[in-house]
Structure 1
Amino acid sequence: MKALTICLMLCAGVASAQEFTTYKGHGGPIMGLDVSASGQLASASFDNAVGLWSNDRPTWLDGHGAAVNAVLFPGDGSIVSGADDFTVRRWRDSTSEVIGQHQGKVAHLAATPDGAVLASASWDGTIGLWGDVTATLSGHGQGVNTVAFSSDGATLYSGSSDGTIRIWDVASATAQGVLVTHGFGINEMIVGDGWLAYGAVDGGTRVIDLATGAQIKDFSLERRPILSMDYHPATDRIAVGDGHGYIMVIDSAAWRIAQDFRATRQGPVWALAYSKDGGTIHAGGIDDVIYAWPVALLDDFDPAIGAETRPFLRQAETMPNGERQFMRKCSICHALTAGPSRKAGPTLYGVFGRQAGTVPDYRYSPTLTGSDIIWNDTTIDALFDEGPDHYIPGSKMPMQVIAAAQDRIDLIAYLRTATTED
């Protein structure tokens, strides 16, 4: 549960050992990261929780009913999080209240410099404003993936799957036009002093002059999509994470690529956050581990994320088919062992013959609470044949369909063996 410091002997003529740090305890992939003004790290995870890291140990903030995608320190002593349960929550002393509600997942959060106004980007196509200004901003044609305020907090920028970045006046909550029409979905944005950097689904990584809309620089490489960004103004460094597992570091003073680091052996970089002093970059992805590297030494490290990779990332031919189906479809959310876990779903230990919705201490959706479904070969087959959204409408279980009948048979056979009570 505590953070572990791992020494790596560097190769190619580097004589001394260097260190990177891992933060362990989450039960699912890391979706979002933020660092407070005091240097505290917070993490958002697919396991439905926010992790607040202090003295090498996590405090778990449990309250969301689905995967948490974004976490933010707005600067007022609270923590704010947004999730797949469509809500924005504010946390104080491990308790929370819902301060915002959408009709789709909350993908990203931002705050004005004084923390007085929060913005939430949602896949329902809207931006929510919460705090001193409360409004719902509509205008994008598809889901909104990212939001960012100007340095004075007067202007909000929003990036969407519709390929545009739109401009909004915060005080009046009105649209001010379109800054960028990229053509592919905009996933990430960073606003600096007179410029905006964005990352897109097609790998586009560009910097735009906020006054004129002109392009300052194009840092697009043959890697896609862009999935995460963070900026440390004091060191003029922008970090960009992509689906190929790289972290590109851009020097915003000279507008050049300062470093290009292979962070993962396989899998995406979904979350990035600089330390308070800018000397460390925290990253997360498909593993349930947060990694932190010294920025100055990035070029000296071998890929770390994936070193303790999940079993489903092993070569498929090394697994029997039933195990492979479980690893691909179920392992992120469900454990096979007895007892509590930090995963997003209940343990499958002893699942055969169990009534749905009855694992102690797991918070089920109303649909499954009191359900009359008994898990057996027939009901598990139907679950994956029809998909959870059809078989159990209203369940928190994400859409998973296993179309081939033999794959379902093999999965059930594997579960029979792997979940049998001793």
Structure 2
Amino acid sequence: MRALVSGLLMSVLAALPAASQDFTTLKGHGGPIMGVQVDPATGRVISGSFDNSVGLWQGRDPRWLEGHDAAVNTVLFLAPDRAASGGDDFNVILWDLDAGTPSRLTGHQGKVAGLSVSPDGALLASASWDGSIGLWPLVAPDGAPRFLRGHGSGVNAVTFASDGARLFSASADGTIRVWDVASGEDRVLTDQGFGVNRLVLGPNDAWLAYGAVDGVTRVIDPVSGEQLYDFSLERRPVLAMAHHEATSQMAVGDGHGYIMMIDTGTWRITRDFRAMQRGPVWALDFSADGASILAGGLDDVVYSWPVALLDEFDPAGSSQRQSFLRDPETMPNGERQFMRKCSICHALTPPPSRKAGPTLYDLFGRKAGAIADYPYSDILATSDIIWSDDTIDALFDMGPDHYIPGSRMPMQVIRAETDRQDLIAFLRSATAPDTAPDAGPNKEN
């Protein structure tokens, strides 16, 4: 039976268009995948990762676009030769894809979580956790940005209406708002009650779908806000959505690792696929022809599956997981503390590393901010800290925000002294030049 299924799978794969066969796994990032998009004109893929990098993929060959100083949350093709990205560093970056050069757009005071470009390509909208929406001129890039304010909390997603005169936004305050782009006036379209994470606007603005923190997936009228359909399941939160107009498919990814496929012609669920073995689905898009679905999550890989055969696949990572997803009960306490607090950002191997932070290899006795070519914050680059038992203990006892105020290191506190000492003992062994492991996952030290 297994041979029969395998043969059927290979024959169907062979019948798929060549562009679809390019998508199996895209490897090379050094951290979880936060955003992904396919350019329908060229089939190229752009990805954003916790490793601070943007990946540009032609088939499986990446080019790395470096410019962000923190995790990249969202990516967007503006044209075959232009793209935009937004990150935890509060910045929007415009990319010349041929030259690989960045143009930084500054003004937000919180992470950038979503992007949308107007239908005429003249305006880029950005959603930020500072509660504002940035409007950035693209035709006259030296023009001053505008910021729309009205949400009571962070903005997670934005999308332009087909006429470009209106803009929809979704916020952690539970509301979806409609903005008049010219005047900046807004109205509440719906108040979901729980934070809204994602938006998809249907063709000709016929419907608006949204996904929320409480697991709600609903479709509403984009004028009246009236509910049209409800696809909410007992899984939360909804973290990713994508739509392929030509094939009338919508994909919804959630915190339990599932991708729900909805036929937007008949408005029914066609598949409900466990995409990730462990962890959420943070990023989704369809291949140019709609035959495959691309997804990203905790792994440092962009996965892809043929939509027609989703039920035949095991979840991604079921046979080989990142080390930071290993069962903690199988590790000694020091390694367990490292995996929980450090491993998603830091490698234990010699540089270079594609993780979000510099490698911890040969850590003890090293001056903070000393790894060549790593973009440290000014506070750490000019610090006189030398990493030792005492300084590492103080770092996790006080927390980076108190021990090194102004650094980009995420808040990590280890309360128990025994846990800190076990971590230090593990690091002293695992980061020593003659004992550091060959591989191990990787913010700033």
Rounded to whole Å, the distance in 1 between the matches of 2:403 and 2:109 is 22
- Helix, strand or coil for the counterpart of 1:367? helix
Q: Which residue of 2 aligns with 1:190?
A: 200
Q: Offset at 1:196?
A: 0.4
Q: Which residue of 1 aligns with 2:55?
A: 51
Q: Offset at 1:11?
A: 7.7
Q: Offset at 1:141?
A: 0.5
Q: Which residue of 1 aligns with 2:170?
A: 159
Q: Offset at 1:307?
A: 3.6
Letter of the 1:110 partner, please give it.
S
Q: Offset at 1:10?
A: 5.9
Do residues 253 (structure 1) and 265 (structure 2) align?
Answer: yes
Q: Which residue of 1 aligns with 2:112?
A: 106
Do residues 137 (structure 1) and 148 (structure 2) align?
Answer: yes
Q: Which residue of 2 aligns with 1:179?
A: 189
Rounded to whole Å, the distance in 1 between the matches of 2:122 and 2:398 is 46
Rounded to whole Å, the distance in 1 between the matches of 2:93 and 2:74 is 10
Any conservation in 2 of the 1:282–1:290 contact (CA below 8 Å)? yes
Q: Offset at 1:325?
A: 0.8
Q: Offset at 1:135?
A: 1.1
Rounded to whole Å, the distance in 1 between the matches of 2:32 and 2:424 is 25
Do residues 348 (structure 1) and 352 (structure 2) align?
Answer: no
**In the alignment, which of 71, 81, 84 is matched to residue 88 of structure 2?**
84
Q: Which residue of 2 aligns with 1:94?
A: 100
Q: Which residue of 2 aligns with 1:275?
A: 287
Rounded to whole Å, the distance in 1 between the matches of 2:6 and 2:353 is 40
Any conservation in 2 of the 1:100–1:128 contact (CA below 8 Å)? no
Rounded to whole Å, the distance in 2 between the matches of 1:305 and 1:364 is 32
Rounded to whole Å, the distance in 2 between the matches of 1:297 and 1:45 is 27
Q: Offset at 1:150?
A: 1.1
**In the alignment, which of 213, 216, 219 is matched to residue 231 of structure 2?**
219
Distance verdict in 2 for CA 1:85–1:296, change over 3 Å:
same
Do residues 377 (structure 1) and 389 (structure 2) align?
Answer: yes
- Helix, strand or coil for the counterpart of 2:422? helix
Q: Offset at 1:280?
A: 1.0
Q: Which residue of 2 aligns with 1:4?
A: none
Letter of the 2:49 partner, please give it.
S
Do residues 420 (structure 1) and 432 (structure 2) align?
Answer: yes
Any conservation in 1 of the 2:237–2:254 contact (CA below 8 Å)? yes
Do residues 243 (structure 1) and 255 (structure 2) align?
Answer: yes
Q: Which residue of 1 aligns with 2:159?
A: 148
- Helix, strand or coil for the counterpart of 2:379? coil
Do residues 21 (structure 1) and 24 (structure 2) align?
Answer: yes
Using the size of structure 2 for normalisation, the TM-score is: 0.90
Q: Offset at 1:360?
A: 1.3
Residues 214-270 of structure 1 deviation map (CA, whole Å, 9 limit, x = unaligned): 101000000000000011011111100000000001111111101111101111000
Any conservation in 1 of the 2:253–2:281 contact (CA below 8 Å)? yes
Rounded to whole Å, the distance in 2 between the matches of 1:209 and 1:142 is 24
Which protein is richer in helix relative to its size? Answer: 2
- Helix, strand or coil for the counterpart of 1:353? coil
Percent identical pairs in the alignment equals 63
Q: Offset at 1:304?
A: 1.7
Rounded to whole Å, the distance in 1 between the matches of 2:101 and 2:2 is 44
Q: Which residue of 1 aligns with 2:440?
A: none
Q: Offset at 1:76?
A: 6.4
**In the alignment, which of 67, 72, 85 is matched to residue 68 of structure 1?**
72
- Helix, strand or coil for the counterpart of 2:296? strand
More displaced stretch, 37-46 vs 76-85: 76-85
**C-alpha RMSD of matched pairs (Å):** 1.6
Letter of the 1:28 partner, please give it.
G
Rounded to whole Å, the distance in 2 between the matches of 1:415 and 1:224 is 36
Rounded to whole Å, the distance in 1 between the matches of 2:395 and 2:277 is 33
Q: Offset at 1:17?
A: 3.8
- Helix, strand or coil for the counterpart of 2:279? coil
Distance verdict in 2 for CA 1:10–1:125, change over 3 Å:
farther
Q: Offset at 1:121?
A: 0.5
Residues 341-365 of structure 1 deviation map (CA, whole Å, 9 limit, x = unaligned): 1011111011101110001121111
Letter of the 1:89 partner, please give it.
I
Letter of the 2:234 partner, please give it.
E
Rounded to whole Å, the distance in 2 between the matches of 1:195 and 1:119 is 20
Distance verdict in 2 for CA 1:306–1:102, change over 3 Å:
farther
Q: Offset at 1:213?
A: 1.3
Letter of the 1:249 partner, please give it.
M
More displaced stretch, 200-209 vs 306-315: 306-315
Letter of the 2:112 partner, please give it.
V
More displaced stretch, 328-337 vs 310-319: 310-319
Distance verdict in 2 for CA 1:315–1:76, change over 3 Å:
closer
Rounded to whole Å, the distance in 1 between the matches of 2:431 and 2:58 is 35
Q: Which residue of 2 aligns with 1:5?
A: none
Unaligned 5+ segments in structure 1 are 1-8
Any conservation in 2 of the 1:100–1:130 contact (CA below 8 Å)? no
Using the size of structure 1 for normalisation, the TM-score is: 0.95
Residues 283-332 of structure 1 deviation map (CA, whole Å, 9 limit, x = unaligned): 00000001011111112211124543112222211000110111111111
Any conservation in 2 of the 1:126–1:137 contact (CA below 8 Å)? yes
Do residues 115 (structure 1) and 121 (structure 2) align?
Answer: yes
Rounded to whole Å, the distance in 2 between the matches of 1:80 and 1:69 is 11
Residues 174-215 of structure 1 deviation map (CA, whole Å, 9 limit, x = unaligned): 123001100100001100131100000000000001132110
Q: Which residue of 2 aligns with 1:368?
A: 380
